[in-house]
Amino acid sequence: MKKNLLLLAALSMAFTGAAPAQMPKTVKVAIEGAFPPWNALDSSGKLEGFDVDLISWLCRRAAVECQLSSGAWATLVPGLNLGKYDVVMTLGINEKRKKVVDFTLPYASGVASFLVLKNSDLAGLPMTGQRLNLNDKARADGVMAAIGQKLKGKTVGVVQSTSQEQLMNSYFGDSVKVRTYRSSAERDLDIKAGRIDAGFDSGVYARFIMSKAGNQDLTNAGPDLKGSVLATDVAMGMRKGEADLKARFDGAIKAAAAEGVIRQLSEKWSKLDLTPDYP
């Protein structure tokens, strides 16, 4: 009898599929807390930054109760898929990540850039301060080849499990030593100490950090990059199949863009308007 009931249950699941995911009563939001101006921990250990202000607004607009917590960047997506979190903030959209998580609409659009010491021979990388879309291969391939020649034999620091790490490995392969770090701040200490030659990170982060005391010797180098494997369109990541949760936050993000909330908050924290262009 028990075997028959188990067989019926298995057949039922096969024909009907798994039950749709339920909206959580409290949405658990993961934020790194070590990536200013997107997010950081203040002197009392409280989360602050663009992500924090925006998610507070989005949760109110989506009519959901949210609980924020911080953690090491490389642990956030695994924690999401294990059920420790329901949403991960500051997750750049790329094809590799789409296989693992679902994304909301992007809530910010940025760039990636190199961070070096002002007296470094890398400070003169081609197209410094100009925008370059890597998907425009006719224009980008020659520039990236020239950058690759300048970087040959150098050590570039990136945060582990980021699209910046992917790009460095895919474009420059064995000619550049890529060193990974748990956070951008940890990597920046090695740039300033001369233990590595450059960092590659969010351009928004780089501009913010250069404006802070103690970083006067740092500068941007090379172009502001978009496209290819770079995840410069930033969204909220969530587990596969959370359709109701995604719909609520997509609606809230559209409203935040239309009402100027993204522009207001991103200019407050980064001096840049990071509002994405929606089709």
Per-residue model confidence as pLDDT tens digits over 171-185: 998 899 999 999 999
Is residue 76 located within the same domain as residue 133?
no
Is residue 197 located within the same domain as residue 242?
no
Domain containing residue 131: CATH number: 3.40.190.10
Domain span at residue 15 reads 7-109+233-270
The answer to whether residue 1 sits within a structural domain is no
The answer to whether residue 200 sits within a structural domain is yes
Give the pLDDT band (50/70/90) at residue 109: very high
Structure tokens at 136: 């425009």
Is residue 222 located within the same domain as residue 117?
yes
**DSSP conformation letters of 4-65:** HHHHHHHHHHHHH-SPPPPPPSEEEEEE-SEETTTEEE-TTS-EESHHHHHHHHHHHHHT-E
Per-residue model confidence as pLDDT tens digits over 8-61: 333 333 434 444 556 778 999 999 999 999 999 999 999 999 999 999 999 999
Is residue 191 located within the same domain as residue 140?
yes
191: Cα within 13 Å, side-chain hemisphere: 33
Q: How many domains does the chain have?
A: 2
Is residue 130 located within the same domain as residue 57?
no
The answer to whether residue 2 sits within a structural domain is no
Is residue 200 located within the same domain as residue 252?
no
The answer to whether residue 247 sits within a structural domain is yes
